[in-house]
């Protein structure tokens, strides 16, 4: 059949399909889902650009494409039905009971809300695990960062809209929360809210530092990350429903008895969901609003899509999942260099960031994405005002707490102009924001505020470094009548992935920490906490007797490393100042792989000429592949700096400086990283690397499961085979 003949019948077929689906919206959706229940994933960022108001759909081109693709799908479906009727019954079944799903894990994520900096006990990772009725993909669980694993559990929540039976819930208490002032309330709870198709794992790079600032909390929305896809009702995925779910989860973990407060940190759609909770004009979670004292919006969206764009998008979402999956595969052509990856990271992102983005794209599943995307679309009343969906001007203006807006200059998903629009909502002089919009569009400024110099409102401030008009009390008293609004644009090539892009996440973390301490609660400053713990005598190792019994520094390991126990500020010998005096010139840098804030002042090392680097990991859990990759990359860079320094030094016989590494005692996690480096970069076998570490740091790695993981990870020729359901 010629192409023009196909196109001539497409409008009729498309119209028939479209009206059949539209007649009973939710029932039709569920029918399609049961027929085309593919395990797939989709980022659909092109569609997201449309919903964000950044793209447009040409009616003729879009409907022609829809008609053509729908016709092909209908022909393929009909051929499949005929083929099965003729041949299906004579073929042997590969799966029992018609279960053709891939292998999945039904083990519950380990429940734990306690952190430990000591490696003195071995805990069975499988203890207390129980199966769930719904499924969690093995691959997602395998790549879950150790910090999230240790402090996560799957919890059931019931709201006024739906029951969500298994929601991945992350709660990490601050290690010293009881040692810090609790009046008028304990340290605020930092709540992380991910966006459309995202998960909590996207916050992991900044969580590694912010967990030392305050207690951290977050959930994976249903079907995202490690939360199960249940319920399947479309109404359970509207932004209002997700905001209600998040508020319910927060209220369950918030220390309301001591009047604990809440600070939101949202990304993309997560900003819109958090706005529905934080805004004073939103009916959602009225009691929780009284506890909200701050809001950090990363890549926020200022306005809902227009009525026309909403109509186009609803039509797109009527397309069956099989077609969506075909589009998703087309968009993913090129892997790490595919449009689906580069749209979020930008073309200049390093390979590590692009690998992360590819993984996040693969974790985003079509049925969940469609429901969440549909739930963001607004309804319009007779006057043209939105009554649901993504919040706009009125809802944003209802935020009456300190607000930090951050965007990436090269973000095509939520462009930085969105930040300028939100700023206009808070200004009494909208015309003065023209220069700010122009600056953002022209890409000027380096992580600087884009606010009008002429604003005299007193509510909007030009930059974080400027003198604030808010007098934040020593113990974090709330001053809602003078809430500051700040905005920062990361320069190109910063994009939508700035919170996990290796080039930006550290600067972003520092920006957030400064805002928390300077504009919300001074107790959220790490420097303030360390000073308080030192002067109160509470800043110390947990098991002092055991710490003293451990050798401070090992023998040189592989001509590259020293294994250390953590330094201790209150110690007379193994503290920063005497350590620098003894080891400067022999130790080039220290890599701190402990999870907690160090019990010493790292700046004293830097000031003394020994670099300090923080690469936090969780105790008792073998470092992940990604964590080892980051460690190896850091050591490679430090080795290059050492080589350059040795080449330029005047004394050719001076010994080459080495790199110090410590967790708490310097055995298990330290040994794992050092042996991994010796294997990957120095050509050691697993046995040789373990023996070298044991010889120089007796008795070597203590945890058997760490050693087992090393053998599995570096066993030559070991490869997995796909499991089959019999």
- Final residue of a domain: which of 527, 557, 583? 527
Task: Count CA within 13 A, CB hemisphere, residue 85.
Answer: 6
**What is residue 73's predicted lDDT score, i.e. its pLDDT?**
56
**464 neighbors 486 (Cβ within 8 angstroms):** yes
Asked if residue 583 and residue 502 are part of one domain, the reply reads: no
Domain annotation covers residue 74: no
Number of residues assigned to the chain: 726
Asked if residue 617 and residue 518 are part of one domain, the reply reads: no
Domain CATH code at residue 162: 3.40.50.1820
**What is residue 350's predicted lDDT score, i.e. its pLDDT?**
85
Domain annotation covers residue 367: yes
Report pLDDT digits (tens) over 338-383: 998 999 999 888 888 898 899 998 888 989 999 999 999 999 888 8
- Final residue of a domain: which of 527, 552, 571? 527
**What is residue 77's predicted lDDT score, i.e. its pLDDT?**
55
Domain annotation covers residue 535: no
Q: In whole angstroms, what is the distance from residue 548 CA to residue 439 CA? A: 57
Closest CA to 152 of 195, 73, 211: 211
**What is residue 538's predicted lDDT score, i.e. its pLDDT?**
60
Asked if residue 620 and residue 504 are part of one domain, the reply reads: no
Domain annotation covers residue 637: yes
Asked if residue 549 and residue 445 are part of one domain, the reply reads: no
Closest CA to 502 of 364, 335, 362, 345: 345
449: left (phi over 0), alpha (psi -120 to 50) or beta: beta
Asked if residue 559 and residue 481 are part of one domain, the reply reads: no
Domain CATH code at residue 550: 3.90.190.10
Asked if residue 566 and residue 423 are part of one domain, the reply reads: no
Domain annotation covers residue 578: yes
**What is residue 273's predicted lDDT score, i.e. its pLDDT?**
98
Q: In whole angstroms, what is the distance from residue 306 CA to residue 51 CA? A: 9
Asked if residue 637 and residue 518 are part of one domain, the reply reads: no
Asked if residue 553 and residue 519 are part of one domain, the reply reads: no
Asked if residue 554 and residue 446 are part of one domain, the reply reads: no
Asked if residue 420 and residue 329 are part of one domain, the reply reads: yes
The stretches in the chain having pLDDT less than 70 are 1-142, 428-482, 534-540, 716-726
Domain annotation covers residue 76: no
Determine if the pTM surpasses 0.75: no
**What is residue 456's predicted lDDT score, i.e. its pLDDT?**
28
Domain annotation covers residue 439: yes
User: What does DSSP say about strands 216-219 and 189-193: parallel, antiparallel, or unpaired?
Assistant: parallel
Q: How many structural domains does the chain have?
A: 2
Asked if residue 488 and residue 629 are part of one domain, the reply reads: no
Report pLDDT digits (tens) over 239-252: 999 999 999 999 99
Domain annotation covers residue 45: no
- Final residue of a domain: which of 527, 562, 596? 527
- 516: containing domain: 105-527
**What is residue 387's predicted lDDT score, i.e. its pLDDT?**
84
Asked if residue 248 and residue 125 are part of one domain, the reply reads: yes
Q: In whole angstroms, what is the distance from residue 353 CA to residue 497 CA? A: 8
DSSP string, 103-151: P-EEEPPPP-------------TTTT--EEEEEE-HHHHHTS-HHHHHT
């Amino acid at each position: 059949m010629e192409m023009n003949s196909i196109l001539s019948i497409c409008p009729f077929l498309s119209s028939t399909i479209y009206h059949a689906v539209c007649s009973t919206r939710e029932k039709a959706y569920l029918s399609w889902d049961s027929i085309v229940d593919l395990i797939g994933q989709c980022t659909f960022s092109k569609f997201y650009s449309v919903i964000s108001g950044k793209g447009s759909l040409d009616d003729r081109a879009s409907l022609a494409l829809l008609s053509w693709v729908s016709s092909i799908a209908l022909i393929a479906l009909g051929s499949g039905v005929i083929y099965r009727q003729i041949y299906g019954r004579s073929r042997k079944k590969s799966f029992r009971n018609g279960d053709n799903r891939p292998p999945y894990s039904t083990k519950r994520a380990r429940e734990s809300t306690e952190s430990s900096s000591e490696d003195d006990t071995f805990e069975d990772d499988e203890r207390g695990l129980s199966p769930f009725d719904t499924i969690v993909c093995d691959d997602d669980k395998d790549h879950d960062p150790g910090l999230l694993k240790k402090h996560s559990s799957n919890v059931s929540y019931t709201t006024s809209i739906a029951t969500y039976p298994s929601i991945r819930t992350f709660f990490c208490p601050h290690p010293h929360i009881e040692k810090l002032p609790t009046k008028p309330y304990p340290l605020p709870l930092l709540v992380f809210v991910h966006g459309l198709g995202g998960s909590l794992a996207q916050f992991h790079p900044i969580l590694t530092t912010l967990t030392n600032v305050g207690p951290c909390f977050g959930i994976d929305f249903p079907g995202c990350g490690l939360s199960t896809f249940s319920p399947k009702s479309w109404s359970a995925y509207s932004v209002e429903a997700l905001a209600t779910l998040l508020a319910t989860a927060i209220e369950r973990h918030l220390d309301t008895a001591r009047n604990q407060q809440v600070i939101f940190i949202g990304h993309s759609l997560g900003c819109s969901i958090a706005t529905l909770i934080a805004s004073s004009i939103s009916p959602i979670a009225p009691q929780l609003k009284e506890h909200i004292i701050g809001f950090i919006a990363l890549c926020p969206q200022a306005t809902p899509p227009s009525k026309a764009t909403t109509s186009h998008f609803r039509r797109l979402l009527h397309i069956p999942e099989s077609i969506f999956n075909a589009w998703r595969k087309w968009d993913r052509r090129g892997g790490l260099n595919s449009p689906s990856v580069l749209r979020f990271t930008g073309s200049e992102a390093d390979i590590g960031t692009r690998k992360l983005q590819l993984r996040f794209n693969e974790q985003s599943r079509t049925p969940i994405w469609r429901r969440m995307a549909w739930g963001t679309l607004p309804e319009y009343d007779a006057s043209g005002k939105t009554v649901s969906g993504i919040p706009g001007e009125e809802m944003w203006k209802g935020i009456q707490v300190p607000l930090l807006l951050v965007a990436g200059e090269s973000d095509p998903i939520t462009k930085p102009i969105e930040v300028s629009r939100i700023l206009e909502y808070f200004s009494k002089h909208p015309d003065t924001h023209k220069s700010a919009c122009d600056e953002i569009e022209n890409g000027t400024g380096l992580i600087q505020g884009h606010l009008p110099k002429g604003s005299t409102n007193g509510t909007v401030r030009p930059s974080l470094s400027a003198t604030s008009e808010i007098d934040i009390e020593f113990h974090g008293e709330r001053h809602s009548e003078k809430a500051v609004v700040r905005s920062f644009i990361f320069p190109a090539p910063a994009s939508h992935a700035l919170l996990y892009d290796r080039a930006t996440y550290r600067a972003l973390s520092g920006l957030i920490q400064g805002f928390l301490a300077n504009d919300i609660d001074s107790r959220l400053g790490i420097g303030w906490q360390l000073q308080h713990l030192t002067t109160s005598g509470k800043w110390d190792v947990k098991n002092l007797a055991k710490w003293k019994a451990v050798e401070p520094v090992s023998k040189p390991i592989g001509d590259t490393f020293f294994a250390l126990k953590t330094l201790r500020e209150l110690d007379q010998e193994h503290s920063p100042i005497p350590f620098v005096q003894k080891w400067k010139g022999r130790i080039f840098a220290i890599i701190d792989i402990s999870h907690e804030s160090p019990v010493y002042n790292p700046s004293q090392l830097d000031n003394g000429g020994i670099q300090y680097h923080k690469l936090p990991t969780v105790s008792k859990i073998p470092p992940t592949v990604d964590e080892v990759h980051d460690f190896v990359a850091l050591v490679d860079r430090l080795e290059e700096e050492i080589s350059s320094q040795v080449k330029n030094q005047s004394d050719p016989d001076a010994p080459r400086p080495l790199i110090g590494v410590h967790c708490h005692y310097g055995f298990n996690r330290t040994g794992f990283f050092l042996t991994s480096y010796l294997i990957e970069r120095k050509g050691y076998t697993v046995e040789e690397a373990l023996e070298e570490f044991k010889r120089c740091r007796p008795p070597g790695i203590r945890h058997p499961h760490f050693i087992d993981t090393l053998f599995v990870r570096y066993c030559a020729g070991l490869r997995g085979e796909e499991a089959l359901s019999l």
